[in-house]
A and B are shown apart, each in its own frame.
Chain A
Amino acid sequence: VTSAIIVDDEQNLIELLQTKLAELWPELEILGSAVNGRQAIALAKETQPDIAFLDIHMPGLSGLQVAEALPASTQLVFVTAFDEFAVDAFERAAIDYLLKPVSDARLQQTIARLQNQHQPSRDQLVATLRELQPPLSQHLQWIRAGLDDTTQLISVDEVIYFQADKKYTSAMTQSSEHILRRSIKELEQQLDRNKFWRVNRGVIVQVAQIVTAKRDLRGRYTLTLRDRNETLRASQPYGHLFKHM
């Protein structure tokens, strides 16, 4: 007897798939269901199913982590609501997937394929999934600004420039100024260098905000910004950044 588990963070959808499978593939034995990645791995370890229907978006562990942790003998069918990129990659790798809401006809096709044992290798599967994972940012994305009890969360994308200020650093956004408890040096190390440039000893500016960089006779640059009126000065040692602007 072929056995399966269903993994989806939405109970309604587990039940739906369960009902449909019972109708279209009565011989299939459903060993259980899980609503998150952690449960799914535990369930698969315990039941050793032949097939796992796996939702890609789940709380806790991602579809990739679950896929890697499932027993190698378990065939995977991915279920997703809408994922242009995932679907495209699945097509290329000939990995089976179901789009929600799942039609009977489409589920029938998948059942036929599963019965014929058409399954790409696990390595290929994992490689494809890895490709789908959005790269996790290694850079600072959010900063806590303000002193004492008035801490705000600011996305670095909103910061037009950072300015060193004695003990603290100011983050200038389109309409306000925030005080950070980080040194400009520390910020420089954590920010994405493709998005933020240090232009003088005390200033880091978001590159996308620089509208013009005008050079004076001493090799310094005056920068105008998109969303703030003041200009910034790029000192001579940082001038190379603007050579080609």
Chain B
Amino acid sequence: MAESSVVQQLRVFAYTGLFCLAIGSGLTLLADGASLWGNLAVSFAIGWSINLAFVLFEGLFPTSVSPYIKPIPLTAVGLAVGLIIGGYAVSGNPWLFFGNDYSTLALGVFFGVVGFIIFSTRGRLLATQADLAKSIAARERQEKLIAETELKLLQAQIEPHFLFNTLSNIHGLITKNPNVAEATLLNLTKLLRSSLNRTRKSQTTLSEELEIAKAYLDIHAIRMQGRLRYSIEHDPTLDNCLLPPLLVQPLIENAIKHGIDPLENGGAIEIKTGRVNGQLQIAVTDTGSGITDKSGNGTGLSNVKSRLHALYRDRAELVLEDNLPQGVRARLRLPFDEVHR
């Protein structure tokens, strides 16, 4: 930044120089009587003094001062210094232009204002272009992020370890308990199908999402036998709420993996849907082992958070908190207005 800002400043001085050259020679051509050298000396003195005033003193203003107010004192100071230097250069008398003849002062003010308008317009134009480029880049990054987090969540949905374990359970149940084997196979099918369908859908309904959650929990309940109990407390008026897919399952996965599975005696998971502060809330609470300072990191949850941020900015949130007396609660909140699209 240091180098490039120096280059920038030099460029401004160069442009000012060209501008002053035009004014100085223009005034001479229009025959105001003074010599070309004199006109150039005065116009350069004023132009560069104003430049210098900006370079030296602009940083002194608090950022709260409007960018339209700031240039007024800066230009005034630059102009005064320029007139003193110019007057001294032409006649040896620094106060030459503050005496009886105010015409040079008036010209200085006039061109100072013109110069300021030209430069600030140009600056604003450049700034607007830069902003535009920045917002385009930000949007592209955003879209890429949405696609990336979706892919990550999709991959996490059918995790190989889970898939093979489930198949192994079905294998074991086929002869021992064919009914449960069949139900588990159908649950696994539901899960697999949803993960394939949902790659093409950007929205799903809450009832559909809960169906999938139930299939997922049922499989784990079979696998873990008595160690996992679960309940779903759902407000049926919310059935048709729309939400992006893949957000709920990671919360359940996290509750099982980091909460219930590590406990020899297992625990319970409760899913609760509702309206809270005008938002759709889905809470997944477990009575598992809880999170300590050094617990493994929640990659699945981070993926959900990045996805929420990419889709909703700060209008949605996932909050993780301790559940008392033990375990963790994950609260997912989404805006309703978008949900009802």
B164:A154 contact, CB within 8 angstroms? no
Assess A12 versus B264: contact at CB under 8 Å? Given A19-B175, A153-B291, A158-B302.
no
- With an 8 A cutoff between CB atoms, is A59 at the interface? yes
Q: How far is the CA of A216 from the CA of B59 in the complex (A)?
A: 15
- With an 8 A cutoff between CB atoms, is B91 at the interface? no
From B1, B162, B165, A222 is in contact (CB under 8 Å) with B1
B172:A140 contact, CB within 8 angstroms? no
- With an 8 A cutoff between CB atoms, is B341 at the interface? no
Stretch of B47-55, B120-128, B292-300 lying at the A interface: B292-300
Q: How far is the CA of A136 from the CA of B295 in the complex (A)?
A: 9
- With an 8 A cutoff between CB atoms, is B103 at the interface? no
Binding site secondary structure of chain B: helix
Q: How far is the CB of B63 from chain A (nearest CB, A)?
A: 12
Q: How far is the CB of A190 from chain B (nearest CB, A)?
A: 8
From B163, B176, B264, B314, A82 is in contact (CB under 8 Å) with B163
A217:B2 contact, CB within 8 angstroms? yes
Q: How far is the CB of B264 from chain A (nearest CB, A)?
A: 5
- With an 8 A cutoff between CB atoms, is B225 at the interface? yes
Q: How far is the CA of A19 from the CA of B175 in the complex (A)?
A: 10
Chain B residues touching A, range:
35 or more
- With an 8 A cutoff between CB atoms, is B215 at the interface? no
Assess A157 versus B302: contact at CB under 8 Å? Given A9-B224, A152-B320, A152-B321.
yes
Q: How far is the CA of A35 from the CA of B165 in the complex (A)?
A: 15
- With an 8 A cutoff between CB atoms, is B262 at the interface? yes
Assess A155 versus B165: contact at CB under 8 Å? Given A16-B171, A215-B2.
no
- With an 8 A cutoff between CB atoms, is A28 at the interface? no
B172:A12 contact, CB within 8 angstroms? yes
Assess A82 versus B297: contact at CB under 8 Å? Given A9-B224, A19-B175, A152-B320.
no
- With an 8 A cutoff between CB atoms, is A91 at the interface? no
A13:B169 contact, CB within 8 angstroms? yes
From A9, A16, A155, B302 is in contact (CB under 8 Å) with A155
B309:A152 contact, CB within 8 angstroms? no
Assess A100 versus B1: contact at CB under 8 Å? Given A59-B261, A153-B322.
no
- With an 8 A cutoff between CB atoms, is A137 at the interface? yes
Q: How far is the CA of A19 from the CA of B171 in the complex (A)?
A: 12
Query: How many pairs, one residue from A and one from B, have CB atoms within 8 Å of each other in the complex?
Result: 125
A99:B164 contact, CB within 8 angstroms? yes
B328:A153 contact, CB within 8 angstroms? yes
Q: Nearest chain-A residue to B299 (Cβ)? A: A157
- With an 8 A cutoff between CB atoms, is A2 at the interface? no
Q: How far is the CB of A219 from chain B (nearest CB, A)?
A: 10
Q: How far is the CB of B5 from chain A (nearest CB, A)?
A: 9
Per-position 1/0 for A121-141, Cβ under 8 A of B: 000000000000000111111
- With an 8 A cutoff between CB atoms, is A170 at the interface? no
A81:B164 contact, CB within 8 angstroms? yes
- With an 8 A cutoff between CB atoms, is B12 at the interface? no
Per-position 1/0 for B283-313, Cβ under 8 A of A: 0000000011111111001100110010001
Residues 30-82 (chain A) with a chain B CB within 8 angstroms? 35-36, 38, 57, 59-60, 81-82
Using Cβ atoms and an 8 Å threshold, which residues of chain B touch A217? 2
Q: How far is the CB of A178 from chain B (nearest CB, A)?
A: 10
Residues 6-32 (chain A) with a chain B CB within 8 angstroms? 9-13, 15-16, 19
B164:A143 contact, CB within 8 angstroms? no
Using Cβ atoms and an 8 Å threshold, which residues of chain B touch A137? 294, 296-297
Residues 190-221 (chain A) with a chain B CB within 8 angstroms? 190, 214-217
Q: How far is the CA of A143 from the CA of B292 in the complex (A)?
A: 8
- With an 8 A cutoff between CB atoms, is B105 at the interface? no
Per-position 1/0 for A100-136, Cβ under 8 A of B: 1110000000000000000000000000000000001
- With an 8 A cutoff between CB atoms, is B167 at the interface? yes
Q: Nearest chain-B residue to A38 (Cβ)? A: B264
Assess A152 versus B224: contact at CB under 8 Å? Given A60-B262, A157-B297, A175-B309.
no
Assess A36 versus B264: contact at CB under 8 Å? Given A13-B172, A81-B161, A175-B309.
yes
Q: How far is the CA of A174 from the CA of B225 in the complex (A)?
A: 40
Using Cβ atoms and an 8 Å threshold, which residues of chain B touch A168? none
A141:B293 contact, CB within 8 angstroms? yes
- With an 8 A cutoff between CB atoms, is B223 at the interface? yes
Using Cβ atoms and an 8 Å threshold, which residues of chain A touch B261? 9, 59
B292:A175 contact, CB within 8 angstroms? no
Q: How far is the CB of A40 from chain B (nearest CB, A)?
A: 11
B171:A101 contact, CB within 8 angstroms? yes
- With an 8 A cutoff between CB atoms, is A236 at the interface? no
Q: How far is the CA of A217 from the CA of B9 in the complex (A)?
A: 15
Q: How far is the CA of A100 from the CA of B171 in the complex (A)?
A: 9
Assess A143 versus B293: contact at CB under 8 Å? Given A15-B172, A100-B168, A152-B321.
yes
Residues 194-231 (chain B) with a chain A CB within 8 angstroms? 222-225, 227
Closest A-B pairs by Cβ, 4 of them: A16-B172, A100-B168, A214-B1, A101-B168
Starting from the known contacts A60-B263, A137-B296, A143-B293, 19 additional A-B residue pairs (CB-CB under 8 Å) come to A10-B165, A12-B176, A38-B264, A59-B262, A81-B164, A82-B163, A100-B165, A137-B294, A140-B293, A141-B295, A144-B322, A152-B321, A153-B291, A153-B328, A154-B320, A158-B305, A176-B314, A176-B317, A216-B2
13 A–B contacts from the bound complex (CB under 8 Å): A57-B161, A60-B263, A81-B160, A81-B161, A81-B165, A82-B160, A100-B171, A101-B167, A140-B293, A142-B291, A144-B322, A158-B305, A175-B314
